[in-house]
Structure 1
Amino acid sequence: MNRAIDLYCERLGPGLWGEPLNAVTNLAFILAGILLVAALRRDAAARRDPAVLGLVALVFLVGIGSGLFHTLATVWAALADVIPVALFILLYMYLALTRFAALARWGALTGVAVVLVLVTAMPLAFGFSVATYGVALAAMLGVGGFLHFGRRHPAGRRILAAAGVFALSLAFRTADLPLCAALPVGTHFLWHLLNAVVLYSLTRTMMVEGTKKA
């Protein structure tokens, strides 16, 4: 029998409900997706945009993949957890650079390639650690800062606000194991709740600011 991958404080055993709170809080991503679908119904331009529809679909897949990992805790479920997150990061990076920063396609693809290399290199060099998500945070701060302070683009402030929430989320993810003795339930569930807010906010920003000329 395969042993469950045990990475978080809350895991109580190898069964489906070994991480009950970590599993249930993935419903926050599903709720975020439902709210985004509701927003699409009110926004014809966003509804006709395949890239925005892709972001919304990825929000649902993030919730499903993370839910699978926190219940099954297998290698393939871990891949189902991280791949949708990586795809969301890369797609959003490309869209932000082309639609908000108005970079040429080659420039945007270069930026995406840099992020992809760093996201890939971090797990290979250090294991899948918080440093991997630090790349995503740095990208959000860099793009958001450039848009807000350099271009005075309204999306910049919203991306920086999402980056602030993500930084807090990352702090809770980092604190999960160190606080395990004092807080047996862990803090990883807060990573889910706050990241659902981040993905919702980023996708709504793309709907509102990124489809005006799409």
Structure 2
Amino acid sequence: MDWFAALDGYCERLGPGLWAEPLNAVTNLAFVIAAGLMWPRVRGIGRALCAVLGVIGLGSGLFHTFANGLTSLMDVLPILGFILLYLFAASRDLLGLRPWQAALATAAFLPYAAATVPLWERVPGLGSSASYAPVPVLILLYAGLLARRAPATARGLAIGAGLLVLSLGFRTLDGPVCDALPFGTHFLWHILNAVMLAWMIEVWRRHRLAAASAPR
């Protein structure tokens, strides 16, 4: 595989140029802005989540300017890192699992995704967005587990899952609407996904504050 061969996977890109995807490139600032806004609101693992959120913007920005196999990895690996780190935080701090149990729950994401992504790939029109489809399902599972003991947190997670589904919708529509919208819809995936990830950090933060202030 030629890691430096130019890739063209989005409606907006019409050639190999550095600024062939201006909207897709610039809207990655949404991730960096979201990370900066959340940084002073959190501590501990919350700041690690903010750091990874910022790296998502940098990696995706590189991919939508220097579009090749190497920058494609820089795009997807930070997203996977955020998913795994948030799963650990959610399992430990929202579900109340011990750290080793949370680590096992986090590791289980990889076989879960490997088993379910091929099923989502059979959904007509979903395309490459199938690789993200297991995530909102998992968020809703956590929301269901928390529905009774922490209803506010469960609602927050459900909102996050809804935002992710909406942003995935725009990611999926990028190709099909290309004839009508030459700049595509992928840039909306960036903006909504940045909002969603920041919201997920906020849900974690609020749960932690509520747990700390609860009578013992």
- TM more than 0.5: yes
Determine the C-alpha separation between the residues in 1 that align with 2:143 and 2:97.
14
Indicate the RMSD between aligned Cα atoms, in angstroms: 2.2
Does residue 138 of structure 1 match 2:132? no
Residue of structure 2 in register with 1:59 after alignment: 53
Separation of aligned partners in 2, 1:13 and 1:164: 34
**Counterpart in the other structure of 1:15:** 17
Partner of 1:185 in structure 2?
183
The aligned counterpart of 1:105 is 99
More deviation, 6-15/96-105: 96-105
The answer to whether 1:32 aligns with 2:34 is yes
- For 1:76-95, list aligned pairs within 5 A: 76-95=70-89
Q: Give 1:113 deviation, angstroms.
A: 2.2
- Percent sequence identity over aligned pairs: 44
Amino acid at match of 1:35: L
How far apart, CA to CA, are the structure 2 residues paired with 1:73 and 1:90?
25
- Aligned-partner Cα distance in 2 for 1:187–1:60: 22
What secondary structure, in the 3-state scheme, does the structure 2 residue paired with 1:183 have? coil
Tell me the distance in 2 between the aligned counterparts of 1:11 and 1:58: 26
The whole-number CA distance in structure 2 between the counterparts of 1:166 and 1:181 is: 25
Find the partner of 1:74 among 68, 74, 78. 68
1:70, distance to aligned residue in structure 2 (A): 0.4
Q: Give the helix-richer structure, 1 or 2.
A: 1
User: What SS class does the counterpart of residue 151 from structure 1 fall into?
Assistant: coil
2:167 paired residue number: 169
Give 3-state SS (helix, strand or coil) of 2:6's partner.
Answer: coil
For 1:146, the aligned partner's letter is L
Post-superposition shift, 1:75? 1.1
Give the match for residue 43 of structure 1.
Answer: none
Query: TM-score, normalized by length of structure 1?
Result: 0.86
SS of match in other structure, 1:72: coil
Larger displacement relative to structure 2 (100-109 or 10-19): 100-109
- Contact kept? 1:115, 1:135, Cα under 8 Å: no
Q: Unaligned stretches of 5+ in structure 1?
A: 41-45
| Letter in structure 2 aligned against 1:176 | D
Q: 3-state SS of the aligned residue for 1:71?
A: coil
TM-score (norm 2): 0.85
> How far apart, in 2, do the equivalents of 1:120 and 1:61 lie?
24
Q: Distance in 2 between matches of 1:3 and 1:87?
A: 25
Conservation of the 8 A alpha-carbon contact between 1:22 and 1:70: yes
Please state how far the C-alpha of 1:198 moved relative to its aligned partner: 0.6
Give the counterpart letter for 1:204 in structure 2.
E
**What secondary structure sits across from 2:65 in the alignment?**
helix
Contact 1:158 1:205 survives alignment (8 Å): yes
Which consecutive residues of structure 2, in runs of 5 or more, have no partner in the other structure?
122-126
- Asked if the contact 2:5/2:69 (under 8 Å) is kept, the reply is no
Residue identity opposite 2:19 in structure 1 = W
Q: For this pair of structures, how many residues does the alignment match?
A: 202
